[in-house]
Structure 1
Amino acid sequence: MHAFARLLDRLSFEPRRTAKEALLVDYFRTTPDPDRGYALAALAGSLDFPHAKPALLKGLVTERVDPVLFGLSYDFVGDLSETIALMWTAPAGRPDDGAEPLALRDVVSGLRGAGRTQAPALLSTWLDRLDEIGRWALLKLITGGLRVGVSARLAKTAVARLGRLEPDDIEEIWNGLATPYAELFAWAEGRADRPRNVDPAPFRPPMLAHPVNEEKDFAALDAADFAAEWKWDGIRVQAAAGREPGGMHGRRLYSRSGEDISAAFPDLLDHLGFDAAIDGELLVVRDGAVQPFSDLQKRLNRKSAGARIIADYPVAIRAYDLLAVDGEDLRSLPFHARRTRLERFVAELASPRIDLSPLVPFDGWAELATARHEPGRLLGEADAAAVEGVMLKRRAAPYLPGRPKGEWFKWKRDPFLIDAVLMYAQRGHGKRSSFYSDYTFGVWRGAPDARELVPVGKAYFGFTDEELREIDRFVRANTQNRFGPVREVVHTPERGLVVEVAFEGLNRSGRHKSGLAMRFPRISRLRWDKIPAEADRIDTLEALLSATRA
């Protein structure tokens, strides 16, 4: 555990991606199997310990320290693992004196073998044996909330750097591997051949786009070289299916990052009766019309879906690309050839849950700009409201993993802007655990002499580090109430902080007091020049919602 704890500690204080990668490469190179494999699984989010949950940890620490003191400390620190690690009091005399150091493999095998009743005593013993950093790393490991600025992609990139692999080589076989990934490390280090991928429906690393720089890119690009299609407001997915060696039909639905989300969408899997891989957008489609993203959210982040939610929120795929079919890999073909194959494939499939994302006709950038701004001219009312912008794809471009330059571009619609008033603030996590960085904001509702602020959204990004410090100082100096880790700040018509909020769209929501939910809200800038009375009203958002649905 010592080496793993030191790795997490150094990663949490290292802001540079290249430096984080170097730390990971060094750890993977110097740490033996299976510990490095379990560390990789932890960083990639592939470990789960069902009997070690936050409630259990809180119960353990309050047996050692005063519960009120722990509650106050947790409120101040804002991070459960860090609070427990610092407050844990071990018995006099180190329990690990003369014992073998605790290894990461011991923790994993111990927790996997422990039942619900054995887990508390096991965790207490380990926490007694470790120092503050070791306890912190152990708690981060078992709760799954590492928050050290390392994505699964970066961890796989570090493994690839042990040899001459590319991260995408690992992505293509990742879902067929099992912890602790001994065969993966052997391949990366040149000691063994590529692990055999027996999954008939593997994940294929997606091709991504660069944002359009309107002044620079349109002056350099020829519109005739590109096709355009709508950018839908759903989530990017990959639907893959094929025959397993035993004759069974393997079917998978992957997120853009390669996470297998099949279990949450059994109704869609029933329609993957083919040998192919489709790149597309997952949407809720009811009676042929795309529904708001808020409907799709009701089906996301679930381990399974019940009959009621399946019936109420039917999902479908709007296909963008065909990556493979009948054992043939199509990714090396140009986009226009893959598109022709995709059109024929979807037509022959004739599935009510898989349709084709239409191309946007245009003869020049000005005509495409008009379509992007007014999609309703070409689409129905509901579908137009579900458009985020347009995608530009070079007709001659093969399907390349990552974000190759000059091939694909995304041209999103301009964000909406409103002025709102900060109402509540909560501490962040990880490097932001010392700052109030998660904000709830609202707009006015009611007559001028009886108006009230109603929350319309939450945001925790969009501001600079300096602006974060400014907001944090304001929150601390203007707190008027506390609710656990949340602070209510002053928000009267005369006193408060006005923030300009940028967001991508609006939907109706019965879960919010305002009746509205924002899509991708973020703090655009701080309006120190305004008093809260000058912030926007709910009427502004209602009118905006009506306009976007018109």
Structure 2
Amino acid sequence: MNRFAALLDRLVYEPGRNAKLRLMTDYFRHTPDPDRGYALAALTNALMFKEAKPGLIRGLVEERTDPVLFRMSYHYVGDLAETAALIWPTPHVSSPQVGGEALLGHNNPPSVPTIAEVVEALATTGKSELPARVASWLDALDETGRWALLKLITRELRVGVSARLAKTAVAQLGQIEPDEIELIWHGLEPPYENLFAWVEGRADKPESGNPAPFRPPMLAHPLEDEDMAKLNAADFVGEWKWDGIRLQAVAGISDHGLPARRIYSRTGEDVSAAFPDLVEALDFEAAIDGELLIVRNGRVQSFNVLQQRLNRKAVTAKLMSEFPAHLRVYDILTECDEDLRDLPFMQRRERLETLVARLNHPRIDLSPMVPFASWDDLAAARSDPAFVGAGLDADAIEGCMIKRADSPYLPGRPKGYWYKWKRDPYLVDAVMMYGQRGHGKRSSFYSDYTFGVWRDGPEGEELVPVGKAYHGFTDEELMKLDRYVRNHTVNHFGPVREVEYGKDRGLVLEVAFEGLQRSTRHKSGVAMRFPRINRIRWDKPPAEADRIETLEKILARGEKEIHPLKGQRTEGRQS
């Protein structure tokens, strides 16, 4: 466990991707099985502990320490694992005998567990025995070890490592392509001993047994002004960028001759069970890439409507009928065991058009191209999709995708091939109302800000919260915002500070956001999607901030799309 803790500790403070890669590769190379396999599972979020919950940890700490002190410390630090690791009392160990008797303490101090022992015990220990087991581990470990253990238990590593990067580190043990691991990943289970044996040349490649495997998606770069000056419009083609959820639909034939149909998220999670109505439509043998949307009467609905189908534990017939899942596709990766990813984009597009036409299913259609001869033409389409040809679907368009006509389908985010050019975000001026401490490296700063706009209340104009943002500012601006919160606090609510605000006092924040939705969590009744601090308006009086009517006008544009289904709205976006 100590070696795994040292790895996590170094990953947290290492900002560079290549340096993180070297740290993980070195760990996997010098750590024996099964420890390295369980570490890989932790880094790829492939572990699930049914009985180990944050409440268990809080209960253990409050039994060993002053509960009030712990809660105050937790509020200050903002991270449960870090707080518990630091405040956990170090047990006394036995000292040399004095007068033939051992001093008070543990004659047999607990031994430091390995990560394999921890993972296997968490999977088999009953709920009643688990607290004592976790406490014994905490007693045996030092501060860094305790922190790593608790991060493992809560499945919140937050060390700046993606699942893809961890798999890339494993691939470097044998100089193989990370894609080869991705293709067999869903057929593997922790602690991945057969995977390590293969990459190190000690065994054959594991057979995934999955006739419909996930393939890493190709991602786009945001289009910047300087990019357009360098790129030739004639080399690129355009598509609409839909405001949905990226999915990969794969259908194949098993060894027994039976159809296998899978739907994956962009990170490779099998989400087929959440969309049985879409799975039924996969009557082909191919892997296609597209966007999950809700389509009613031929019209794409807003993201607010799509949210009714996300993060569902149960999918009812009524839900599928009222919120029918639809896949709008824009690329094809394989067809009938033929890998098409090395073909130029336009050739893949022709293959995709043929497949969709042959399929002829109402749940699956093509994402239309956006014709343009110059960047000015594309800019006009981006600013007014309805005028250019998107018609009634215009409200569900985020912007444009720009793809080189000869681009292969490459995993990751390769430069120079695909770009995304989103429509300009909405901007409003809002007043800061609350500040909260951040997490990790920001745990010492008030970096999360709740802000509000004006509306008419029973006693005159009042501020009502409409969102919360924690990025969009520089480190230097963070220092100033943190100082402002500390110097203008008027009330405390646990880790949250209320700052002074009113018509003649307060700080105005220019907030950028990409959409709005109804919300019962906010007093205003609305909530922003993807808000960020665009600018700090030190110069602007709070009385001149925007009113709720400004947001209501934006919201009203797509409000009529949502089919009522009471009690089933969710907030936030799945990626």
Give your verdict on TM over 0.5.
yes
Shifted more, 264-273 versus 173-182: the winner is 264-273
| Equivalence for 1:18 | 18
8 A Cα contact 1:8 1:137, kept in partner? yes
8 A Cα contact 2:288 2:331, kept in partner? yes
| Equivalence for 2:570 | none
Q: In 1, Cα distance between the equivalents of 2:537 and 2:461?
A: 21
8 A Cα contact 2:281 2:361, kept in partner? yes
Among all aligned residue pairs of Structure 1 and Structure 2, give the percentage whose two residues are the same amino acid. Answer: 63
| Equivalence for 2:435 | 425
Compared with structure 1, are the counterparts of its residues 13 and 224 closer, same or farther at alpha carbon in structure 2 (3 Å cutoff)? Answer: closer
8 A Cα contact 2:262 2:279, kept in partner? yes
2:123 to 84, 93, 112: 112
Tell me, yes or no, if structure 1 residue 204 matches structure 2 residue 215: yes
Shifted more, 155-164 versus 503-512: the winner is 503-512
| Equivalence for 2:198 | 187
Letter in 2 for 1:77: V
Shifted more, 508-517 versus 44-53: the winner is 508-517
Compared with structure 1, are the counterparts of its residues 304 and 26 closer, same or farther at alpha carbon in structure 2 (3 Å cutoff)? Answer: farther
Gaps of 5+ in 2: 95-105, 561-575
Q: In 2, Cα distance between the equivalents of 1:131 and 1:299?
A: 45
Give the alignment of 1:325-344 within 5 angstroms.
325-344=335-354
The CA deviation at 1:492 is 1.2
Compared with structure 1, are the counterparts of its residues 475 and 196 closer, same or farther at alpha carbon in structure 2 (3 Å cutoff)? Answer: same
Q: In 2, Cα distance between the equivalents of 1:6 and 1:293?
A: 42
Q: In 1, Cα distance between the equivalents of 2:297 and 2:519?
A: 21
Which deviations, in whole Å up to 9, do the C-alpha atoms of 1:132-175 show, x marking residues without a partner? 21111111101101112222122122212223123223222222
Q: In 2, Cα distance between the equivalents of 1:79 and 1:99?
A: 26
Compared with structure 1, are the counterparts of its residues 312 and 90 closer, same or farther at alpha carbon in structure 2 (3 Å cutoff)? Answer: farther
Compared with structure 1, are the counterparts of its residues 130 and 314 closer, same or farther at alpha carbon in structure 2 (3 Å cutoff)? Answer: same
* Secondary structure, aligned partner of 1:277: strand
The CA deviation at 1:486 is 2.2
Q: In 1, Cα distance between the equivalents of 2:551 and 2:190?
A: 49
Tell me, yes or no, if structure 1 residue 456 matches structure 2 residue 466: yes
Compared with structure 1, are the counterparts of its residues 382 and 96 closer, same or farther at alpha carbon in structure 2 (3 Å cutoff)? Answer: farther
Q: In 1, Cα distance between the equivalents of 2:107 and 2:234?
A: 71
The CA deviation at 1:369 is 1.3
| Equivalence for 2:567 | none
The CA deviation at 1:87 is 1.8
The CA deviation at 1:195 is 2.2
With structure 2 as the length reference, what TM-score do the two structures score? Answer: 0.90
Compared with structure 1, are the counterparts of its residues 96 and 424 closer, same or farther at alpha carbon in structure 2 (3 Å cutoff)? Answer: farther
| Equivalence for 2:171 | 160
Compared with structure 1, are the counterparts of its residues 404 and 130 closer, same or farther at alpha carbon in structure 2 (3 Å cutoff)? Answer: closer
Tell me, yes or no, if structure 1 residue 59 matches structure 2 residue 59: yes
1:315 to 299, 311, 325: 325
Compared with structure 1, are the counterparts of its residues 100 and 483 closer, same or farther at alpha carbon in structure 2 (3 Å cutoff)? Answer: closer
The CA deviation at 1:308 is 4.8
| Equivalence for 2:565 | none
The CA deviation at 1:532 is 1.4
Give the alignment of 1:197-236 within 5 angstroms.
197-214=208-225, 216-236=226-246
| Equivalence for 1:87 | 87
2:158 to 147, 168, 172: 147
Give the alignment of 1:96-111 within 5 angstroms.
97=108, 100-111=111-122
Q: In 2, Cα distance between the equivalents of 1:117 and 1:249?
A: 44
* Secondary structure, aligned partner of 1:446: strand
Which deviations, in whole Å up to 9, do the C-alpha atoms of 1:233-265 show, x marking residues without a partner? 112111112122233332221121222222322
Which deviations, in whole Å up to 9, do the C-alpha atoms of 1:347-394 show, x marking residues without a partner? 222222211111112232222211111001144665101111111122
| Equivalence for 2:46 | 46
Q: In 2, Cα distance between the equivalents of 1:431 and 1:178?
A: 33
| Equivalence for 1:514 | 524
Letter in 1 for 2:138: L
| Equivalence for 2:355 | 345
Gaps of 5+ in 1: none
Tell me, yes or no, if structure 1 residue 474 matches structure 2 residue 484: yes
* Secondary structure, aligned partner of 1:163: coil
Letter in 2 for 1:488: E
Letter in 1 for 2:26: D
| Equivalence for 1:36 | 36
Q: In 2, Cα distance between the equivalents of 1:163 and 1:218?
A: 40
The CA deviation at 1:415 is 1.9
Compared with structure 1, are the counterparts of its residues 2 and 535 closer, same or farther at alpha carbon in structure 2 (3 Å cutoff)? Answer: same
2:548 to 505, 527, 538: 538
| Equivalence for 1:280 | 290
Shifted more, 287-296 versus 450-459: the winner is 287-296
8 A Cα contact 1:147 1:429, kept in partner? no
Letter in 2 for 1:320: Y
Letter in 1 for 2:256: G
Letter in 1 for 2:16: R
Q: In 2, Cα distance between the equivalents of 1:96 and 1:390?
A: 68
The CA deviation at 1:511 is 4.7
Q: CA RMSD in A?
A: 2.3
| Equivalence for 1:370 | 380
Give the alignment of 1:221-300 within 5 angstroms.
221-300=231-310
Shifted more, 132-141 versus 205-214: the winner is 205-214
| Equivalence for 1:2 | 2
The CA deviation at 1:424 is 1.9
Compared with structure 1, are the counterparts of its residues 99 and 126 closer, same or farther at alpha carbon in structure 2 (3 Å cutoff)? Answer: closer
The CA deviation at 1:47 is 0.6
Q: In 2, Cα distance between the equivalents of 1:81 and 1:96?
A: 28
Which deviations, in whole Å up to 9, do the C-alpha atoms of 1:206-259 show, x marking residues without a partner? 112222233x44444333332211000112111112122233332221121222
8 A Cα contact 2:469 2:531, kept in partner? yes
8 A Cα contact 1:322 1:330, kept in partner? yes
The CA deviation at 1:433 is 1.6
Letter in 2 for 1:57: I
1:526 to 526, 536, 550: 536
* Secondary structure, aligned partner of 1:172: helix
* Secondary structure, aligned partner of 1:84: helix
With structure 1 as the length reference, what TM-score do the two structures score? Answer: 0.94
8 A Cα contact 1:229 1:358, kept in partner? yes
Shifted more, 338-347 versus 34-43: the winner is 338-347
The CA deviation at 1:525 is 1.7
Letter in 2 for 1:240: V
